[in-house]
Amino acid sequence: MKSKNFLKMILPVIAIITFIGTSTYAGNYSKDIVDTAVSAGKFNTLVKAIKAGGLVETLKSDGPFTVFAPTDDAFAKLPAGTLQSLLKNTKKLKAILTFHVVAGKVMASDVVKLKSVKTVHGNTISISTKNGVKVENAKVIATDIKASNGVIHIIDSVILPN
């Protein structure tokens, strides 16, 4: 019985890891996290926010970092006017962005073993492996996008600190 429960939990994770193995993201690890995000083409809003929040230099440094990166579609889910307001309030924007970053390189195989992880913001975010992998309210949709200074996991929503 326990092996069936384990299979139900781990199969979505294996599917995600398999997807990444054949993904267009796999390959060149010479780019840092920022340049990897720029070249992916799905993180234009995130990159704009990183620039506005003054985090480019940090995320280009040696790290390593793990970034739970919301896509442009994830930012589009925010209520109207929220993003524009955040881009003007750099203190709040930086707090939200650092809530998506973990010091160290946490690969998907590590994430699924955790119940929570401490962010650069200083708070912890919860991790659930029930019905796929979730970080807070965001579903992890792709994993282990390697960069020279860490790793990116793609999420489908922006996560907000309490």
Q: Which CATH architecture has domain 2-155?
A: Roll (2.30)
Q: Which of 8-17, 67-76, 146-155 has the lowest mean pLDDT?
A: 8-17
With CA atoms as reference, report the closest residue to 53 among 20, 91, 13. Answer: 91
pLDDT one-digit tens code per residue, 84-143: 999 999 999 999 999 999 999 999 999 889 999 999 989 999 999 988 899 999 999 999
With CA atoms as reference, report the closest residue to 74 among 45, 94, 95, 101. Answer: 45
Distances (CA, A) of 102 to 18, 27, 47, 68, 125: 23, 22, 17, 8, 10
Residues 6 or more apart whose Cβ sits within 8 Å of residue 93: 49, 52, 53, 86, 87
Q: What is the pLDDT of residue 63?
A: 86
Amino acid at 67: V
Looking only at the bridges linking them, the beta strands covering 150-155 and 65-70 are parallel
Mean pLDDT of the chain: 84
Q: What is the pLDDT of residue 19?
A: 39
Q: What is the pLDDT of residue 109?
A: 92
- Report the chain's terminal Cα–Cα distance, integer Å: 37
Share of the chain above pLDDT 70, in %: 82
